[in-house]
Structure 1
Amino acid sequence: MPLFEVQVIIENKPGMNDPEGDTILNDLVLKGGSGAIKKIRSAKMLKFQITSPKKESAEKSVKKICDDLRIYNPMVSRVTFSAKPI
Protein backbone atom coordinates (compact mmCIF):
# COMPACT_ATOMS: atom_id res chain seq x y z
CA MET A 1 0.00 0.00 0.00
CA PRO A 2 1.37 3.48 -0.85
CA LEU A 3 2.79 5.77 1.81
CA PHE A 4 1.62 9.39 1.91
CA GLU A 5 2.73 12.46 3.80
CA VAL A 6 -0.29 14.50 4.82
CA GLN A 7 0.39 18.10 5.80
CA VAL A 8 -2.11 19.68 8.16
CA ILE A 9 -1.98 23.47 8.36
CA ILE A 10 -3.86 25.04 11.26
CA GLU A 11 -4.37 28.80 11.27
CA ASN A 12 -6.77 31.25 12.84
CA LYS A 13 -9.84 32.04 10.75
CA PRO A 14 -9.88 35.42 9.01
CA GLY A 15 -10.97 38.12 11.43
CA MET A 16 -9.62 36.26 14.47
CA ASN A 17 -6.75 37.79 16.42
CA ASP A 18 -3.30 36.39 15.69
CA PRO A 19 -1.05 37.66 18.51
CA GLU A 20 1.90 35.56 17.35
CA GLY A 21 1.73 37.00 13.84
CA ASP A 22 1.38 40.52 15.24
CA THR A 23 4.42 40.01 17.49
CA ILE A 24 6.53 38.73 14.61
CA LEU A 25 5.51 41.71 12.50
CA ASN A 26 5.95 44.40 15.16
CA ASP A 27 8.96 43.11 17.10
CA LEU A 28 11.02 41.47 14.38
CA VAL A 29 10.10 42.50 10.86
CA LEU A 30 9.31 46.20 11.30
CA LYS A 31 12.19 46.80 13.73
CA GLY A 32 14.47 45.16 11.17
CA GLY A 33 13.52 47.76 8.59
CA SER A 34 11.16 45.73 6.39
CA GLY A 35 8.47 48.39 6.16
CA ALA A 36 6.96 46.89 2.99
CA ILE A 37 5.51 44.00 5.06
CA LYS A 38 2.02 44.98 6.24
CA LYS A 39 0.65 41.81 7.86
CA ILE A 40 1.85 38.40 9.03
CA ARG A 41 -0.40 35.48 9.99
CA SER A 42 1.08 32.55 11.86
CA ALA A 43 0.09 28.90 11.49
CA LYS A 44 1.03 25.45 12.77
CA MET A 45 1.89 22.62 10.44
CA LEU A 46 1.75 18.94 11.32
CA LYS A 47 3.06 16.19 9.05
CA PHE A 48 1.59 12.71 9.21
CA GLN A 49 2.95 9.67 7.36
CA ILE A 50 0.15 7.23 6.60
CA THR A 51 -0.40 4.23 4.37
CA SER A 52 -3.50 4.51 2.26
CA PRO A 53 -4.73 3.30 -1.13
CA LYS A 54 -5.35 6.86 -2.43
CA LYS A 55 -4.43 10.45 -1.71
CA GLU A 56 -8.03 11.36 -0.90
CA SER A 57 -8.44 8.56 1.62
CA ALA A 58 -5.14 9.53 3.29
CA GLU A 59 -6.40 13.10 3.73
CA LYS A 60 -9.77 11.87 4.99
CA SER A 61 -8.16 9.51 7.53
CA VAL A 62 -5.89 12.22 8.91
CA LYS A 63 -8.83 14.66 9.10
CA LYS A 64 -10.79 12.10 11.13
CA ILE A 65 -7.83 11.60 13.49
CA CYS A 66 -7.47 15.37 13.96
CA ASP A 67 -11.21 15.77 14.56
CA ASP A 68 -11.44 12.82 16.97
CA LEU A 69 -8.42 14.00 18.99
CA ARG A 70 -9.52 17.66 18.87
CA ILE A 71 -6.12 18.76 17.62
CA TYR A 72 -7.66 22.08 16.58
CA ASN A 73 -10.63 24.20 17.58
CA PRO A 74 -13.05 24.34 14.63
CA MET A 75 -14.65 27.51 16.04
CA VAL A 76 -11.49 29.58 15.60
CA SER A 77 -9.27 27.54 13.28
CA ARG A 78 -9.15 27.05 9.54
CA VAL A 79 -7.53 23.74 8.65
CA THR A 80 -6.22 22.48 5.33
CA PHE A 81 -5.09 18.96 4.52
CA SER A 82 -2.84 18.06 1.59
CA ALA A 83 -1.33 14.67 0.84
CA LYS A 84 1.53 13.67 -1.41
CA PRO A 85 3.07 10.27 -2.04
CA ILE A 86 6.48 9.60 -0.50
Structure 2
Amino acid sequence: MKTYLVKVVIENKASARDPEGETILKDLLIKGGYKKVKAVRTAKLLKMWVEAENDKEAKEMVSKLCDELRIYNPVAHTCSINAEGE
Protein backbone atom coordinates (compact mmCIF):
# COMPACT_ATOMS: atom_id res chain seq x y z
CA MET A 1 0.00 0.00 0.00
CA LYS A 2 1.01 3.54 -0.66
CA THR A 3 0.33 6.71 1.35
CA TYR A 4 -1.70 9.40 -0.41
CA LEU A 5 -2.25 13.01 0.52
CA VAL A 6 -5.94 13.69 0.03
CA LYS A 7 -7.02 17.33 -0.03
CA VAL A 8 -10.64 18.20 0.71
CA VAL A 9 -11.79 21.73 -0.16
CA ILE A 10 -15.11 22.82 1.36
CA GLU A 11 -16.66 26.02 0.00
CA ASN A 12 -19.96 27.82 0.29
CA LYS A 13 -22.09 27.19 -2.78
CA ALA A 14 -21.72 29.86 -5.47
CA SER A 15 -25.25 31.14 -4.77
CA ALA A 16 -24.47 31.69 -1.06
CA ARG A 17 -22.90 34.84 0.33
CA ASP A 18 -19.38 34.65 1.70
CA PRO A 19 -19.15 37.35 4.41
CA GLU A 20 -15.53 36.47 5.23
CA GLY A 21 -14.52 36.73 1.57
CA GLU A 22 -16.41 40.02 1.24
CA THR A 23 -14.57 41.45 4.27
CA ILE A 24 -11.19 40.39 2.88
CA LEU A 25 -12.04 41.98 -0.47
CA LYS A 26 -13.06 45.25 1.20
CA ASP A 27 -9.80 45.31 3.17
CA LEU A 28 -7.78 44.65 0.01
CA LEU A 29 -9.50 47.51 -1.80
CA ILE A 30 -9.59 50.05 1.04
CA LYS A 31 -6.37 49.37 2.93
CA GLY A 32 -4.16 47.76 0.33
CA GLY A 33 -5.19 49.46 -2.88
CA TYR A 34 -5.47 46.14 -4.74
CA LYS A 35 -8.11 47.42 -7.16
CA LYS A 36 -7.53 44.64 -9.68
CA VAL A 37 -8.83 42.01 -7.22
CA LYS A 38 -12.49 41.60 -8.17
CA ALA A 39 -13.69 38.81 -5.88
CA VAL A 40 -12.60 36.70 -2.91
CA ARG A 41 -14.16 33.41 -1.82
CA THR A 42 -13.01 31.60 1.30
CA ALA A 43 -12.86 27.85 1.83
CA LYS A 44 -11.73 25.24 4.33
CA LEU A 45 -8.89 22.91 3.38
CA LEU A 46 -8.57 19.53 5.05
CA LYS A 47 -5.48 17.40 4.43
CA MET A 48 -5.64 13.68 5.16
CA TRP A 49 -2.89 11.14 4.67
CA VAL A 50 -4.40 7.74 3.90
CA GLU A 51 -3.11 4.35 2.87
CA ALA A 52 -4.66 2.94 -0.28
CA GLU A 53 -3.85 0.81 -3.32
CA ASN A 54 -4.20 3.78 -5.70
CA ASP A 55 -5.29 7.43 -5.85
CA LYS A 56 -8.83 6.50 -6.92
CA GLU A 57 -9.28 4.31 -3.82
CA ALA A 58 -7.85 7.05 -1.58
CA LYS A 59 -10.24 9.62 -3.04
CA GLU A 60 -13.25 7.29 -2.73
CA MET A 61 -12.37 6.46 0.89
CA VAL A 62 -12.20 10.12 1.90
CA SER A 63 -15.33 10.99 -0.09
CA LYS A 64 -17.25 8.27 1.76
CA LEU A 65 -15.82 9.45 5.09
CA CYS A 66 -16.89 13.05 4.39
CA ASP A 67 -20.41 11.99 3.43
CA GLU A 68 -20.97 9.52 6.28
CA LEU A 69 -19.54 11.75 9.02
CA ARG A 70 -21.17 14.92 7.62
CA ILE A 71 -17.84 16.74 7.41
CA TYR A 72 -19.67 19.29 5.25
CA ASN A 73 -23.29 20.30 4.68
CA PRO A 74 -24.25 19.37 1.08
CA VAL A 75 -27.14 21.85 1.16
CA ALA A 76 -24.85 24.83 1.83
CA HIS A 77 -21.42 23.67 0.65
CA THR A 78 -19.57 22.11 -2.24
CA CYS A 79 -16.83 19.63 -1.57
CA SER A 80 -13.98 18.81 -3.94
CA ILE A 81 -11.49 16.04 -3.27
CA ASN A 82 -8.08 15.44 -4.82
CA ALA A 83 -5.59 12.64 -4.06
CA GLU A 84 -1.84 12.80 -4.65
CA GLY A 85 0.69 10.03 -4.10
CA GLU A 86 3.64 10.85 -1.86
User: Do these two structures clear the TM 0.5 threshold for a shared fold by scoring above it?
Assistant: yes
Provide runs of 4+ in structure 1 moved above 3 Å: none
Structure 2 letter corresponding to 1:21 = G
By how many angstroms is 1:67 displaced? 1.0
Tell me how far apart the structure 2 counterparts of residues 55 and 74 of structure 1 sit (CA, whole Å): 23
> Alignment partner of 1:30: what SS?
helix
What residue ranges of structure 2 are gaps of 5+ in the alignment?
none
How far 1:38 sits from its partner (Å)?
Answer: 1.2
> How far does residue 68 in structure 1 lie from its aligned partner after superposition?
1.2
State the alpha-carbon separation in 2 of the partners of residues 84 and 4 from structure 1: 5
Q: Which residue of 1 aligns with 2:29?
A: 30
Could you give the per-residue CA deviations for residues 34-79 of structure 1, whole angstroms, max 9, x where no partner exists?
Answer: 1111110001100000000010110010011111111100011111
Match runs of 1:1-86 below 5 Å: 1-26=1-26, 28-31=27-30, 32-86=32-86
SS at match of 2:15: coil
Deviation at 1:14, TM superposition (A): 0.9
Aligned to 2:81, what secondary structure does the other structure show?
Answer: strand
Amino acid at match of 1:5: L
Identical aligned pairs, as a percentage? Answer: 41
Count of matched residue positions in the alignment of Structure 1 and Structure 2: 85
CA RMSD of aligned residues (A): 0.7
